[in-house]
Structure 1
Amino acid sequence: MQTFCGLTTDGMLDYLAMVYKLGRNNGRVTTSALAERMHVSAAAASSMLKRLEDSGFVDRSTEGIKLTEQGRLAALQLIRRHRLLEVFLTQVMGYTWDQVDDEAHRLQHAVSANFEERMDMLCNYPTHCPHGDPIPRKDGTMPDEPIVPVLELDRHQAGILRRVDSSDARVLRYLGQLKLMPGRRLRLVDVAPFNGPVTLEVVEDDEATTCTQILGRELADKLFVFALNEFGGVHSHEHSH
């Protein structure tokens, strides 16, 4: 696959994309965390990281792994292609949001740059994938969005669900049944103590009625929102994701 940085293998690109996702807040990534997400042994991950370091894509230190600028650009190009494929699969091919991650992963190394451009145009230049993740720009930059975890809302504060941090098809199907998909307005009603359940008030499709949904803390942690103030505007938070 052709990248901003020249030719590299599909496996190397997959590792670079995962390092980017794990360290998205400019943090360093551990080999063990990377191995777990890539479903390989720590030894296999370490071997690949050595290749990436020798090729100038990552920097390794006792503090962990971090992408170089070359590695960051390569990772973002693959992430852009993957997320454009997800949009194409939902908008054009009729896939549901819980089906597209695996399919896009199978296709992302096969499509050409020309095909990628056609997808972008055909889908009217989308800015987000079906799960609400931003699509990197062509120049290798990632839009910065003022979103916060739903659990950081104040009690009874409203927000617009922007991103679901999961590619697990079972999780996405369940959240879809609860109508908790990007673009949905909601309000944080209550968070029970001692890691108890989270109660959300979710606006229905008719925009006039609401329903109450109760989620476990682990599931609620996957939801990120634009926080709204009492007048419906975006609430200012220092935290961004």
Structure 2
Amino acid sequence: MLDYLATIYKISNNNASSGANKVTTTALAERMHVSTAAASSMLKRLEESRFVERSGADGIRLTEQGQLAALQLIRRHRLLEVFLLDVMKFTWDQVDVEAHRLEHAISVEFEDRMDKLCGYPTHCPHGDPIPAKDGKLPVEQLVSLVDMQIGQQGVLQRVGITDARVLRYLSNLKLTPGRTVTLIELAPFNGPVTLELTLDARTELNDSSAQASQILGSELAEQLFVMPL
């Protein structure tokens, strides 16, 4: 049940950033990898428990109670990702799947100790903010790479994809949160995006695998969010 709430929150949040705010049963079923009938059945239970509200015009909306439950699960998941990366030494492309396996099994005390052990992190390894215990999230003014101006510089803050293959690809390109990039070229008609990476003079300038210039497809670039400088 909680997985549905967290997924509704994420879809709604992503839609809002693109100018829409409607969550449909079909979209939810696709994200949960279930049939539309199964999603409808769960939504009925969630509505009866007052976690969601449904209307034809507005689609599916979380109630205040539903949003808090969703954010509490998201907090636990993202804390687990940090723990798995920093303490257990998993790679950033592995932590999402492992966190899903663990998030319903740990206690609140375990969560609190994990938070302290990791130094009270504010973001997960992919750059998503970690909600506070009361569900509050920081307001971040990030923009997608494709919305930057030519010549504009920014720091990569968030990767909106958890697919392990994509994350490994981005790692190979040295495109991980914290990297400073400059938009060099944005081809028209959803064409490729050319970036210049600022390399670390101490550790990367002599690394033959580190390239200062990288070219990405527009669909991938849309999912990379930066803090403009």
Cα-to-partner distance string for 1:34-80 (whole Å, 9 max, x where unaligned): 10000001111011000000000001000200100000000000000
Q: Which residue of 2 aligns with 1:94?
A: 89
Cα-to-partner distance string for 1:17-47 (whole Å, 9 max, x where unaligned): 0000000138231111110000001111011
Q: Which residue of 2 aligns with 1:168?
A: 163
Report whether the alignment pairs 1:218 with 2:207.
no
Q: Which residue of 2 aligns with 1:60?
A: 54
Shift of 1:206: 2.3
Q: Which residue of 2 aligns with 1:125?
A: 120
Report whether the alignment pairs 1:191 with 2:180.
no
Decide whether the 8 Å contact of 1:35 with 1:45 is kept in 2.
yes
Cα-to-partner distance string for 1:77-102 (whole Å, 9 max, x where unaligned): 00000000000000000000000000
Counterparts of residues 77-88 of structure 1 (less than 5 Å): 77-88=72-83
Q: RMSD across aligned C-alpha pairs, in angstroms?
A: 1.3
Q: Which residue of 1 aligns with 2:208?
A: none
Say which SS state the counterpart of residue 115 (structure 1) adopts: helix
Cα-to-partner distance string for 1:175-214 (whole Å, 9 max, x where unaligned): 0100110010000000111211000001113279670000
Q: Which residue of 1 aligns with 2:129?
A: 134
1:110 to 105, 113, 119: 105
In 1, Cα distance between the equivalents of 2:99 and 2:163? Answer: 14
TM-score by length of 1: 0.88
Amino acid corresponding to residue 93 of structure 1 in structure 2: M
Q: Which residue of 2 aligns with 1:232?
A: none
Report whether the alignment pairs 1:72 with 2:72.
no
Shift of 1:152: 1.0
Amino acid corresponding to residue 20 of structure 1 in structure 2: Y
- Give the gaps of 5 or more residues in structure 2: 206-210
In 2, Cα distance between the equivalents of 1:44 and 1:161? Answer: 38
Q: Which aligned runs of 4 or more in structure 1 are off by greater than 2 angstroms?
A: 205-210
- The number of aligned residues is 217
In 2, Cα distance between the equivalents of 1:55 and 1:185? Answer: 45
Identical-residue share of aligned pairs (%): 66
Report whether the alignment pairs 1:182 with 2:177.
yes
Say which SS state the counterpart of residue 105 (structure 2) adopts: coil
- Give the gaps of 5 or more residues in structure 1: 1-11, 229-241
TM-score by length of 2: 0.92
Amino acid corresponding to residue 211 of structure 1 in structure 2: A
In 2, Cα distance between the equivalents of 1:92 and 1:139? Answer: 25
Amino acid corresponding to residue 215 of structure 2 in structure 1: I
Q: Which residue of 1 aligns with 2:6?
A: 17
Decide whether the 8 Å contact of 1:164 with 1:223 is kept in 2.
yes
Decide whether the 8 Å contact of 1:27 with 1:66 is kept in 2.
no
